[in-house]
Amino acid sequence: MDLSLENNDFLNGFDHLGNHKLSKNSIDIFSLKINANEFNYSTLQDSLIDPLINYSLSRKVRAEYQGKPAALSRKAREKFLDYIRNKGELGELMLYCFLESHLKAPKILSKLELKTSTSHYVNGADGVHFVRLPDGDFQIIFGESKTEIELTTALSHAFKSIYEFKNEINSAGSKKSGLPYEKGLISDHLEKETFSDEEKEFIKNIIYPKRENSFEVDDAFGIFIAYEITIDDNDKRLSNSEFRKKLQFQIKEEISNRLQHIEKKIDEYKLFGHKFYIYIVPFTELTKRRSEIQKEITR
């Protein structure tokens, strides 16, 4: 059974600069479209408005607001704004968009629907998706996003968070999280999504595989990294075509230089059994841009 994907146009705002294969893992490099020697952030903002609704609200809530697009949009923006004030950030929304649009991995449910109060949100993965592999087996993909100035630091923190999540290592007083807890959470809250009985049974079979299933299921991880890139003022004086070529080469070099670091972290945390889908996007003035985009899409 194939549940429908919800976002198809998100990638239009990016150039795909390449893919690296590390063992069975995949690292995809994306750059925002460039206009007049600057990243086109307005296109990114526009491309996030519709996915924001699907990310923030369950299928069940969206069905209740059918025919009321303005009210639906307002409810989604309010929920996302409330969320980022407490725990979340732009990276989680972008991870959702990449998993849906690039990996073709539908979300299982909206984590924002599981908040227990306005000040406490469910801990754990930044998103939960699934993907069907060419051989007919499945992966449940748990998300982790980091938006940090330095690329190496962001990667280190992402793999540390995944290690702690997998091994249920929590800071004092935090709600228990980890793979078993997360799967139980999904199973308990499927009613929040408007899945048919057949779809619910299908998803439960992915979460808790049965002996008679004709497929295998493995846990995988999706990682989104946004980091800050520095662009020399002299480069901004280049022609548009020269600037694009030089900046894209710079981005690819910066990420290629971190491939060994990614392998090191997978080995350090003994995560070799999992597949990783890693998406990396550079931003200029990361903190400022992140704040501006979050403000714009929740207006």
* pLDDT score of 113: 62
* pLDDT score of 262: 98
Q: Which two tokens stand for residue 230?
A: 């520095």
* pLDDT score of 196: 66
State residue 41 phi and psi, 5-degree precision.
-75, -25
* pLDDT score of 115: 55
Burial tier of 160 (Cβ tally within 10 Å: 0-12, 13-18, 19+): middle
Domain range annotation of the chain: 14-297
Q: Please give the DSSP secondary-structure letter assigned to residue 234.
A: T
Tell me if 208 sits within 8 A of 187, measured CB to CB: yes
Q: What is the pTM of this model?
A: 0.91
Separation in Å, CA 47 to CA 34, 65, 244, 250, 264:
15, 22, 21, 25, 35
Angle at the Cα of 287 from the Cα atoms of 282 and 293, rounded to 5 degrees = 80
pLDDT in tens, the chain (299 residues): 445 455 568 999 999 999 999 989 999 999 999 999 999 999 999 999 889 988 888 777 888 898 998 999 999 998 888 777 755 578 999 999 999 999 999 888 766 766 544 444 455 678 889 898 999 889 999 999 999 999 999 999 999 999 999 988 875 545 556 788 788 877 777 766 656 676 777 788 888 878 888 888 899 999 999 999 999 999 999 999 999 999 999 999 999 999 999 999 999 999 999 999 999 999 999 999 999 999 899 88
Q: What is the DSSP string of 124-137?
A: S-S-EEEEE-TTS-
* pLDDT score of 174: 53
